[in-house]
Structure 1
Amino acid sequence: MSLSHLIHTHPLIDNHAHAILSHSHATDYASYPFEQITSEAQGPALHNAHRSLPLLRAINDLAGLYGCPDVVQGDHRAEDRWEKLLAARAECVKTEAGYEELVRRCLHGTQVLLLDDLLPGHVQEYTWHDRFTPSQTKRIVRIEVLAGGIIDEMKTGSNFTREEKEDAFSSFAKSFADAIQGAIADAAVVGFKSVICYRTGLDVGNPDEASVMEAFVRTASMTGTCRVEDKSLNDWILLRTLDLLKQHRLQHEEETPKPVQLHTGLGDADINLLTSNPAHLQPVIARYPEVAFVLLHSAYPYTREAGYLACVYDNVYLDLGEVFPMVSRDAQQAILRESLEIVPTSRLLWSTDGHYFPETFWLANRQFRLVLDEVLTEYVRREDLSLLQAMTAAADILFHNSNRLYGLNLSPDPVMAGSTAITANMVATSDTTSATSGVPWLAKLAKLNVKFVWVQWLDYTATTRVRMFPVREFLRLAHQQRRLGIARANLRMIQTDAVAPGSSCAGQFYLQPDLATLAPNLAFGPVAAAGGGRHPSASATVMTFWRGEDGVPLEGCPRTTLQRITRLLQTEHGLDVLCGCEIEVVLMRFDSVYNVYVPAATNHSWSQMTRETRPLVPLLEEIADTLASLDIELQQFHAESSPGQFEFVLPPSSPLQAIDTLLRARAAIVHVAEQHGLRATLHPRPYTSAAGTAAHTHISISKTTPDMTLSSSISTATEQSFLAGLLAHLPSVMAFTLSQEESYARVQAGIWAGGEWVAWGTQNRETPLRKISPAHWEVKTVDGLANMYLALAALLAAGYLGLKHSLPLTIQDCQGDSSVDREKYGITTPLPNTLQASLAALQADVDLHTLLGKEFVQDYIATKRTEREMLLAMPDSERRLWLIERY
């Protein structure tokens, strides 16, 4: 992973933001001027914002977000461009569904929001925001509003008498302390916020009780809603909050008190610029070392003063928010550089200060990622930071520092982190030549000179489906300016485009490109020069995740399912998984006289170079060169035992990456063979005289240590329970790994294909699970007709269930013939010998299909049964030809 890739794809924690307007007020610009997305000005001064660099830049960016490039084309007056932008925005948000889709796009890449939800206005409840982020929204309690609400409840409609003052203030003080302590105990609250900077300034004094009581009485005597803005009372409210947090810390030594955020620096005209300097807070910070202080908004224009405090006091953090997008790009860079001058990167936090409009979140996140990339990349180039140090700093600022400070205990969401489809937070432009800085996938498109992108997904029949896009239209899809909808009926579609019973003509799901998988396609022209590999095409391919109408991961998406099971093993059991895949293919020639495929070599045997094998060596080497040109380095390749059969061994990697690589490698092998007039087929038994063709899959598990390094030290109990789960659920799993009736021709004894019984053995090739080394197995009951995402997901799910239920390993290490010595090794269960039998086992395996998804498993079973009926209706020779042509 590159530094740019990490910065532009790492999930982020927004440590300070505000609620979003309800749809009914989304275009109420009279009450909520849209110009305030980049300006703190109000009233007449706000009209000048149209000529400010931050707003002019925002217009360019938002034109891409709304899909209206004409807004920035031509030499229009700023005011005219603004009106055109507002019209485009109105079109996006005219329906509630459209508005929520805009919110979803603007919050994409944000794992959790920490909301100060007491900003006045027609805003959504804080829980409403949960639907747009993987983790539930948390609250930041604004202490002045909390105090004001208590005072409002105490009002009697008349001023307090002198005799009532002491009792009234005592009652208020108790209610305020109870409210703060309640917030400390509330799991939904992760911190507190003070706007004393706005009200009376950061020069907090030590007011005496008499002055505080007088201030309280004056405040309580106000007409209308209470606003706490008397200095003595404001200072008391902040100091009392700090006292309560300090007290909690001393009483609960094991707990870290919830932080206090303070507005500093940048604000509207209501602020006293001189007393917004965080340097005024130094005595208070020094007085409360038990309390963590977060200085908000980069303290601009006092960034260096805030940085000094965050450097010399262990309990001070500097938030980098609000200046993105409120100042120019140059100013943003300068502020980040000033923040990094002396502040440890472990004390920097990110926030958007997003409020009212979802675009404030989008602009802030997008611009911050770009500037963070530019600044850290320069430091790496100058060798001030190593690449690893820069990557660590970026991840800390975006996620880990806030995760620790607020006690969130989150792991970066793997779907977000792995997909890199956070395009709204990258660059909103359709210009591939000017938008490549800091955006690796855009740079890759430009470097490859790509004109077309194939958007691909693998369905339940292991058929690769493709939609092809001109690159400019693909950029709209990648930036989520449009969606690619697929009819839900496709979930039950077979290769002939017929659909299984139970499908619906209504509804659709959406394909989200996983930009990490963007790879060059291979040209379909003449054969490349010998030894040079295939020439690249003007097209590229990209795999996808499936999303529902609401944008959340769709149950049954093969890649999401595999990613989710992998995550469960990591988060619940601390296990990392590596997967290695073997590709076995049979090279065949088409005999047009008899309308059959015949092996490309018949004088052929395992790991030998025979008379007919040697002429194929240039082809094999071209395949290896081609894979290398696609960044796929083979570990080895050799002749297998069946006529015309060869094996290519891929390197191990994480499960999702392993299958992505496997599919790219298979496609390249098939393509190169086609250029030489040959068919490279994955058919499990393209002729009956051979042992058959498999897709052996290696799985190894290792422990993640606290410092995130890997250790091969897996306890015996963990290894045995994982293996016991694999064995217990293997008959059900085979519905995914041997997914066609033809596949079961290999479930035989004596052909080194895994035998006929549920068993395992160390280096025993006649068992379906061959143990190679501790916590490393080869699964032999897999072939090339399977959807390999689902096959591996089912295997890992079986192992996970073994761990979840602490299954004992009752089957012994088989060192003989599993079909002969069954009693000796505790072998009792036969492998399914038909697809019907494995589908029935899957149907009855409640634990497995509950884990994988009940609705998905029903779709899968219906699809495979319909496919099976279609294929078995063909004569044997026709079915063999049909499968060889497709697999």
Structure 2
Amino acid sequence: MLTDGIALTDHHCHGVVAADLDRPGFERLLGEGQRGSFDSALGLAVRRWCAPVLDLEPHADPERYLARRAELGWRETTTRLLRATGVTRWFLDTGFGGGRAEFAAVADGEVSEIVRLEHLAEQVIAEVGVETTPFEDIETALRGRVRNAVGLKTIVAYRCGLDFPRTDTPPDEVTLERRLTDPATLGWLVGLGARIGGEFGLPLQFHTGFGDTDLRLRHADPLLLTDFLRATADSGTSVVLLHCWPFHRNAAYLAHAFDHVHLDLGLTIPYVGQRAAAVLAETLELAPFGSMLYSSDGYGLPELHYLGAVLWRRGLGRLLDEWIAEDVITSGDAEALVIAIADGNAARIYRNWRPSSAHR
């Protein structure tokens, strides 16, 4: 396949659980709800594709798979799976799932930071208190963090939805219980992220589409960002729509309509398993090839990082083989498309990425 051996930039992922897991603990991470299961497309993919990396036959039954995982231990299992992805650059959302140093210890390639806006704001508010109206402190802290980051991310879809109020003016006060959910504060925070992103050349990532049970899915449709995208079209900010399913066609339209909008399919790919080629085809119906990026959105289980890569390679490879066979695309153009989505588009969009001296 054209996708075999292509180096990947995983432009959005998370850390892994640094502990051995029993079956309930493992299966909880095999789904976005309260209960995951091997009895799913994702579970089948783990048994088919991850098992051989752990020296098992394909389709090993769950108990045998977990026994082998325990025999190897979490560190060896994680190292094998992450290093089998073919990823050479990882952009890690450090606001959920651990930091760069822990991840770099078990992964090949360069690990860079994506700063999660809500996590940073909550840290600042916890330190200075809500009585101080800490908006200047948040901006100062964010400006300090982005100097060593490659991008920003917001989970405003979880907190109040993507139809958040747009404002450059902070509200009169902020409330924080367990987490930040006030729409006015979140709207100001996202606007701040967009402005600082434009200033420093950092893309702003948005969670869109499906997620865990904290999310109201109808509020995570990227079409709700249309006014925001109009307002930021000439700001120098690149917007990246993450995951997108079941709104991947909506996201593709937005990338078609707005030059500064990009998208990936993220955790959609491992979760849909064998249907990855179909979802990729639906997205590429309208999305410009230069707008598409690769990510796994792997979290918790290194199996998710690995499956993101292997199923993306298989899905896109099968789709392009079909296009070549039907004379829709030349082999040369297909190869260029693969390289762009795998790595080239990310290298162009994440302009602040710089390799460390160890990777120069």
TM-score clears 0.5? yes
Aligned to 1:263: 207
- Post-superposition shift, 1:244? 3.0
Quick one: structure 1 residues 408 and 184, their matched pair in 2 at CA, closer, same or farther if it must change by over 3 Å? closer
Secondary structure of residue in 2 paired with 1:349 = coil
- Picking from 122, 125, 132, the partner of 1:151 is 125
Aligned to 1:92: 72
- Post-superposition shift, 1:384? 1.4
Secondary structure of residue in 2 paired with 1:213 = coil
Aligned to 2:8: 12
Question: Which amino acid is 2:292 matched to?
Answer: L
Q: Determine the C-alpha separation between the residues in 2 that align with 1:7 and 1:285.
A: 32
Quick one: structure 1 residues 366 and 245, their matched pair in 2 at CA, closer, same or farther if it must change by over 3 Å? closer
Aligned to 2:50: 62
Q: Which has the higher contact order (CA 8 A, sep 6+)?
A: 2
Contact kept? 2:197, 2:204, Cα under 8 Å: no
Quick one: structure 1 residues 405 and 208, their matched pair in 2 at CA, closer, same or farther if it must change by over 3 Å? closer
Secondary structure of residue in 1 paired with 2:94 = coil
How far does the alpha carbon of each residue in 1:730-768 deviate from its partner, in whole angstroms, 9 at most, with x for none?
xxxxxxxxxxxxxxxxxxxxxxxxxxxxxxxxxxxxxxx
- Post-superposition shift, 1:301? 0.2
Aligned to 1:276: 220
Contact kept? 1:150, 1:176, Cα under 8 Å: yes
Secondary structure of residue in 2 paired with 1:258 = coil
Aligned to 1:318: 263
Aligned to 1:112: 89
Quick one: structure 1 residues 26 and 340, their matched pair in 2 at CA, closer, same or farther if it must change by over 3 Å? same
Q: Determine the C-alpha separation between the residues in 1 that align with 2:325 and 2:352.
A: 34
Quick one: structure 1 residues 245 and 368, their matched pair in 2 at CA, closer, same or farther if it must change by over 3 Å? closer
Q: Determine the C-alpha separation between the residues in 1 that align with 2:142 and 2:22.
A: 35
User: How large is the Cα RMSD of the aligned pairs?
Assistant: 2.5
Contact kept? 2:151, 2:197, Cα under 8 Å: no
Q: Determine the C-alpha separation between the residues in 1 that align with 2:259 and 2:145.
A: 24
Aligned to 1:294: 240
Aligned to 2:251: 306
Secondary structure of residue in 2 paired with 1:203 = coil
Instruction: Note the 1:150-549 alignment, pairs <5 A.
Output: 150-155=124-129, 168-169=132-133, 172-186=134-148, 189-206=149-166, 212-214=171-173, 216=174, 218-219=175-176, 222=177, 226-246=178-198, 248=199, 257-289=201-233, 290-297=236-243, 299-330=244-275, 332-407=276-351
Question: Which amino acid is 1:281 matched to?
Answer: L
- Post-superposition shift, 1:306? 0.3
Which is worse superposed, 305-314 or 351-360?
351-360
Secondary structure of residue in 2 paired with 1:197 = helix
Q: Determine the C-alpha separation between the residues in 2 that align with 1:70 and 1:29.
A: 19
Q: Determine the C-alpha separation between the residues in 2 that align with 1:70 and 1:301.
A: 29
Quick one: structure 1 residues 344 and 28, their matched pair in 2 at CA, closer, same or farther if it must change by over 3 Å? same
Contact kept? 1:321, 1:352, Cα under 8 Å: yes
Question: Which amino acid is 1:309 matched to?
Answer: L
Instruction: Note the 1:857-868 alignment, pairs <5 A.
Output: none
Q: Determine the C-alpha separation between the residues in 2 that align with 1:314 and 1:71.
A: 43
1:102 matches 2:80: yes
Identity of aligned residues (%): 27
Q: Determine the C-alpha separation between the residues in 2 that align with 1:135 and 1:353.
A: 17
Question: Which amino acid is 2:55 matched to?
Answer: G
Quick one: structure 1 residues 36 and 383, their matched pair in 2 at CA, closer, same or farther if it must change by over 3 Å? farther
Contact kept? 1:106, 1:361, Cα under 8 Å: no
Contact kept? 1:295, 1:319, Cα under 8 Å: yes
Quick one: structure 1 residues 50 and 409, their matched pair in 2 at CA, closer, same or farther if it must change by over 3 Å? closer
Q: Determine the C-alpha separation between the residues in 2 that align with 1:128 and 1:408.
A: 22
- Post-superposition shift, 1:403? 1.0
Secondary structure of residue in 2 paired with 1:296 = strand
- Post-superposition shift, 1:360? 1.2
Instruction: Note the 1:790-869 alignment, pairs <5 A.
Output: none
Kindly indicate which of the two structures has a greater share of residues assigned to helix: 2
Instruction: Note the 1:780-799 alignment, pairs <5 A.
Output: none
- Larger gyration radius, structure 1 or structure 2: 1
How far does the alpha carbon of each residue in 1:489-540 deviate from its partner, in whole angstroms, 9 at most, with x for none?
xxxxxxxxxxxxxxxxxxxxxxxxxxxxxxxxxxxxxxxxxxxxxxxxxxxx
- Picking from 72, 82, 90, the partner of 2:62 is 82
Secondary structure of residue in 2 paired with 1:114 = strand
Give the unaligned 5+ runs of structure 1: 73-80, 250-256, 412-551, 553-563, 565-570, 572-887
Q: Determine the C-alpha separation between the residues in 2 that align with 1:342 and 1:311.
A: 6
Question: Which amino acid is 2:283 matched to?
Answer: S
- Post-superposition shift, 1:101? 3.9
Secondary structure of residue in 2 paired with 1:262 = strand
Quick one: structure 1 residues 103 and 128, their matched pair in 2 at CA, closer, same or farther if it must change by over 3 Å? farther
Q: Determine the C-alpha separation between the residues in 1 that align with 2:90 and 2:211.
A: 21
Quick one: structure 1 residues 400 and 209, their matched pair in 2 at CA, closer, same or farther if it must change by over 3 Å? closer
Contact kept? 1:115, 1:126, Cα under 8 Å: yes
Contact kept? 2:54, 2:77, Cα under 8 Å: no
Contact kept? 2:41, 2:271, Cα under 8 Å: no
How far does the alpha carbon of each residue in 1:528-583 deviate from its partner, in whole angstroms, 9 at most, with x for none?
xxxxxxxxxxxxxxxxxxxxxxxx9xxxxxxxxxxx9xxxxxx9xxxxxxxxxxxx
1:52 matches 2:43: no
Question: Which amino acid is 1:91 matched to?
Answer: E
How far does the alpha carbon of each residue in 1:772-824 deviate from its partner, in whole angstroms, 9 at most, with x for none?
xxxxxxxxxxxxxxxxxxxxxxxxxxxxxxxxxxxxxxxxxxxxxxxxxxxxx
Contact kept? 1:93, 1:102, Cα under 8 Å: no
Q: Determine the C-alpha separation between the residues in 1 that align with 2:162 and 2:78.
A: 38
Contact kept? 2:82, 2:306, Cα under 8 Å: no
Quick one: structure 1 residues 144 and 231, their matched pair in 2 at CA, closer, same or farther if it must change by over 3 Å? same
Instruction: Note the 1:721-740 alignment, pairs <5 A.
Output: none
Instruction: Note the 1:863-882 alignment, pairs <5 A.
Output: none
Question: Which amino acid is 2:214 matched to?
Answer: D
Q: Determine the C-alpha separation between the residues in 2 that align with 1:41 and 1:128.
A: 26
Question: Which amino acid is 2:90 matched to?
Answer: L
Q: Determine the C-alpha separation between the residues in 2 that align with 1:368 and 1:301.
A: 17
Q: Determine the C-alpha separation between the residues in 2 that align with 1:317 and 1:129.
A: 26
How far does the alpha carbon of each residue in 1:413-444 deviate from its partner, in whole angstroms, 9 at most, with x for none?
xxxxxxxxxxxxxxxxxxxxxxxxxxxxxxxx
How far does the alpha carbon of each residue in 1:83-107 deviate from its partner, in whole angstroms, 9 at most, with x for none?
222112111216x5x3464355444
User: How many residue pairs get matched?
Assistant: 356
Q: Determine the C-alpha separation between the residues in 2 that align with 1:213 and 1:261.
A: 27
Quick one: structure 1 residues 103 and 369, their matched pair in 2 at CA, closer, same or farther if it must change by over 3 Å? closer
Q: Determine the C-alpha separation between the residues in 2 that align with 1:374 and 1:104.
A: 23
Question: Which amino acid is 1:82 matched to?
Answer: P
Aligned to 1:754: none
Contact kept? 2:156, 2:162, Cα under 8 Å: yes
- Post-superposition shift, 1:377? 1.1
Q: Determine the C-alpha separation between the residues in 2 that align with 1:101 and 1:384.
A: 39
Contact kept? 2:245, 2:265, Cα under 8 Å: no
- Post-superposition shift, 1:199? 0.9
Q: Determine the C-alpha separation between the residues in 2 that align with 1:389 and 1:230.
A: 47
